[in-house]
Structure 1
Amino acid sequence: MNFFSKIFPTLLLTLSLVGCKTTQWGHSTSTHNYVINSQVEEDSSIIRYYLPYKQKMEIEMNRVIAFAEDNLYRTRSEAESSAGNFFVDALLEIGKTLDPDVQFSIATKFGIRADIKKGDVTIGNIYELMPFENYITILEIKGSEMANLLQFMANTGGQPIAGMTMKIKDGKPVDVFIQGQPFDINKNYKLVTYDYLANGGDRILGLDNPISRKDSGILVRNGLIDYLKKLTSEGKTINTKLDGRVQIIK
């Protein structure tokens, strides 16, 4: 006899008794505050339950997958950052494996959430860098939309980009080169980013009306982890520098 077979007669009797009387429903307005602090004793049964999962997760998060030759810093005020350059350089390489016609990559300063310290780089470091459930997305846009994207970057004092260079003067984009060629408003351009920005996140401009869009289904951080594993397997390290790809001039 299973659980439901045992409990069903009792449940049926209870329901019949409840149905024989009139019940008045109401609610209580009294409250009680419970203080949760260091004086609350740990529940050893709960700890025993989750501890194996916690230990397994810590082992995975502490697994070293790469080595950084220097500290990689993010910024929300400067035109360029080493952490930003690392992120979009990797994103561009990932994008090219998905579509060899991808010309450049773009992220935003607010999307990069952690620095990477010099030395061993772990899976946990990449989760800190990109903690969001964002997926890699490839877009093809018109030159007129590209102009809007460039103006967005100028308005916001530069954003992380790879595969292109630009200068900002008097709040306008100037000297823009994509794959070494001057920007041409009459051409179409293919870029790699992530779905949050492709959906208009961070108030970005120029990406909401693409000619085509391909959502890869690959989480950005998973792509970064695979990229770093490949880098390490080739005997390479992270050696990203500031290179003047975005400059504010007077």
Structure 2
Amino acid sequence: MLSIDSKIAEDTAISNYITPYRQQLEAKMNEVIGTSKENMIQNRNLPETLLGNFFTDAMVNIGRNIDPQVDFSMATKDGIRSSIKAGDITVGTIFEFMPFENLLVILELKGSDVLRLAEFIAESNGQPISNAQIVIKGKKLMDFKIAGNTIDPNKTYKLITYDFVANGGDHVRGLDKPVKSVTTKQLVREGLIEYIQGLTKAGKQVESKLDGRVKIIE
């Protein structure tokens, strides 16, 4: 066993070799792509958060640029890895938020499987969703709607999420038998960066709000 600590002298040849690459990487990570109006804090315990709403709203927007028929989006609280603070948002901010090489996936689901997914969301005390509304009581599903409409078990609905979730990550249920599955070439992280840059070009800030899309009742 070799102890690696500050007692070991730096190899200047290696340091000099990697310095230009480090400087390029730091310059890219520090590039400002937008601004956030407020702190959006990561919190795995709350059923609905500003951060989760921002993320899933962004996914719907990105997804509809790929397929205009995307109905709703869903992520998991554990999949969000860091907060977004008020002020400048950099490329590095989004790398910290979504550090994985996840690709966006569009799943066409039977209404009956959408309800299975809703039951999972209820049992886990809420997960980030967009263009959908869920009512939960005692971790049981009371109601689930997409765009204000009750789910028809015989219809199909298009969900945008990312490949980790689509493949059953975080124990998500209801996504294992899609009518159709399309894995896009769009990395989640790159999609978010482009989405924020688009807001900035339009003179808008990144913002979110709590709107009761995940409701827990006694």
TM-score by length of 1: 0.85
- Quote the residue 1:16 is aligned against: none
- Quote the residue 1:171 is aligned against: 139
Distance 1:49 1:119 in 2: 34
- Quote the residue 2:71 is aligned against: 103
How far apart are residue 246 of structure 1 and its match? 0.1
How far apart are residue 171 of structure 1 and its match? 2.3
- Quote the residue 1:118 is aligned against: 86
How far apart are residue 93 of structure 1 and its match? 0.3
- Quote the residue 1:40 is aligned against: 8
Residues 1:130 and 2:130 are matched in the alignment:
no
- Corresponding letter in the other structure for 1:167: V
Residues 1:63 and 2:31 are matched in the alignment:
yes
- Corresponding letter in the other structure for 2:198: K
Deviations 1:173-212 (CA, angstroms, capped at 9, x unpaired): 2232201212222221111000111111111001111000
Residues 1:188 and 2:164 are matched in the alignment:
no
Residues 1:80 and 2:48 are matched in the alignment:
yes
- Quote the residue 1:203 is aligned against: 171
**1:218 maps to which of 186, 200, 205:** 186
Distance 1:179 1:247 in 2: 15
**Percent identical across equivalent pairs?**
48
Structure 1: give runs of 5+ residues left out of the alignment.
Answer: 1-32
Q: Which has the higher strand share?
A: 2
- Quote the residue 2:18 is aligned against: 50
Secondary structure, counterpart of 1:121 in structure 2: strand
Secondary structure, counterpart of 1:176 in structure 2: strand
Residue pairs, 1:4-19, within 5 angstroms: none
Distance 2:62 2:9 in 1: 48
For the 8 Å contact 2:73–2:159, the answer to whether it is kept is yes
RMSD over aligned Cα atoms: 0.9
Residues 1:139 and 2:107 are matched in the alignment:
yes
Distance 1:196 1:56 in 2: 30
Deviations 1:140-165 (CA, angstroms, capped at 9, x unpaired): 00011111100000000000000111
TM-score by length of 2: 0.98
Runs of 4+ in 1 over 6 A off after TM superposition: none
- Corresponding letter in the other structure for 1:164: A
Secondary structure, counterpart of 2:82 in structure 1: coil
Distance 1:244 1:145 in 2: 23
- Quote the residue 1:9 is aligned against: none
How far apart are residue 170 of structure 1 and its match? 2.8
Secondary structure, counterpart of 2:161 in structure 1: strand
Structure 1 window deviating more from structure 2 (150-159 vs 178-187): it is 178-187
- Rg bigger for which structure? 1
Distance 1:141 1:91 in 2: 17
Work out which structure has the larger RCO, using CA pairs closer than 8 Å and 6 or more positions apart in sequence: 2
- Corresponding letter in the other structure for 2:57: D
- Corresponding letter in the other structure for 1:231: L
Secondary structure, counterpart of 2:176 in structure 1: coil
